[in-house]
Amino acid sequence: MTNLFRKKNIQDLLEESKETSKGMKRTLGAGSLIALGIGAIIGAGLFVRTAAASAEHAGPAVTLGFIIAAMGCAFAGLCYAEFSSTIPISGSAYTYSYATMGELVAWIIGWDLILEYAVGAATVGIAWSEYLNNLLVNVLHISAIPYQWCHSPFLTSLEGVHGIINLPALFIILVLSLLLIKGTKESALINNLIVIMKVAIVLLIIFIGWQFINPANHTPYIPVATTYVDPHGVSKSFGGIMGVLGAAGVVFFAFIGFDAVSTAAQEAKNPKRDMPIGILGSLAICTVLYILFAHVLTGVATTEDFRTEGKEASVVFVISKYMTGYSWLASFVTVAILAGFSSVILVLLLGQSRVFYSMSKDGLLPFSLSTLHPTFKTPYKANIMIFLIVGFFAAFVPGDIVGDMSSIGTLFAFILVCAGVIILRKTDPDMPRQFKTPLVPLVPILGILFCLAMIAGLGWTNWLRLIVWLAIGLVIYFVYSKKNSKMNKTESDPS
């Protein structure tokens, strides 16, 4: 039983991080890591979740929801920063868990990260497909892609057309997978260009929209507590403290992605300095942008707008209806959303491949997945495997099926990383730490409590899906991974 919780030696991990000649290329500086984080964070959350949280939970107080969600992410981010600077190895929470809580916990979190990254990338790929049609029709004024070639076979249009395959979603995932195989440096360059464009669009909306704010839309800022019944007949707390907390649970999804920065630790030029800057820097920048963006959006339009006409295309709707003379901005927003989704998919695919790479090197997954390309020095076989998995979901499964499972995976990872910092401070207090999480154990405990509170709001259906997913993972661990683990083989043959 004890070998279920065998831990990786910290010194071995540190030696592994120094093997740059055999491993992946160290090409990412602090600026690229910040851009990587922003690329993963700013996407569907900003352009879709803001309006949903305002309509269903908090009205203009959605900004307070962003602050609460950001606080939870900040506590976890401080813990990620300590780990990523202390143990600069690919694998993120998986590697940290292996070093602090043992192999079984590491497997669970690694399997859980597959849920976060792979399902998340597929979901955003499906959304990318939908917005591509929006671009074709409303911006380029040409015909949309036929329904059957951009929808799952489980979906049928109002006209009775059955979906066959979602080709645009499959296409964008293929292109970005090939880009990742080509190299992290090239991928980071493309991501940097996308980040510059979409941050510019967000700033434009903030600066231009500020002059159209109607103070009446912000009065009262926190609506009186009541109940809102959504179109599906589900009752939700609206207004008051519970409404703000509900909004925090919704907009938390807008922060998913900053943890993916830590998966690139082995490709950072100076991980002990750059990783904390990348993680905390991207989180800080996005938090400021989110709060200002939400303040403008809820000031220009009413809560009722977001419940009726706005919805998913809320930003374009607000510009078209209220911001007279700026119709051109609506077209730019559509392009920015497409670009934003692309960079989110790119970073999620990157994170997933690095988790596969680490698990494969440890023997918990087939060893071939850790094979590096002879020229590009990227885990290309892992990228190919991930393309097949993510591509299948994106091409054939409806987007609403995956729901909020990606977020549960993220929150679960946050909790284990926060707990790991406390454990490692006790078990190895003298380890050199380039960055130290302040006020331990208070900050990690607050991170755990914030994450548990947000998990509680995700509903029993998502808990059930997570339990089923973890049960499948445990079967694989005990059938294959446990006996093929590199640590198991070392224990069986110490020589």
Please give the structure tokens belonging to residue 493: 């043959």
Number of H helices, E strands in the chain: 22, 2
SS3 call for 233 = coil
Mean pLDDT confidence for 352-373: 85
Q: Who wins on pLDDT, 187 or 215?
A: 215
Mean pLDDT confidence for 155-160: 83
CATH number of 24-305+341-488: 1.20.1740.10
Cβ count near 208 (within 10 Å): 16
pLDDT exceeds 60 at position 24? no
Give 101-105's long-range contacts (Cβ < 8 A, gap of 24+): 101/5, 101/7, 101/416, 101/419, 101/420, 101/423, 102/4, 102/5, 102/6, 102/7, 103/3, 103/4, 103/5, 103/6, 103/7, 103/364, 103/482, 103/485, 103/487, 104/4, 104/5, 104/477, 105/5, 105/416
For residue 209, what pLDDT band results from cuts at 50, 70 and 90? Answer: very high
pLDDT exceeds 50 at position 20? no
Instruction: Report d(CA 95, CA 267) in Å as an integer.
Output: 15
pLDDT score recorded for residue 127: 80
Residue type for 410, please? Answer: T
Q: Which distant-in-sequence residues (6+ apart) come within 8 Å of 163 by Cβ?
A: 147, 148, 150, 151, 152, 153, 154, 155, 156, 157
Each residue of 401-430: pLDDT tens digit? 554 567 777 788 788 889 989 988 988 888
pLDDT exceeds 60 at position 312? no
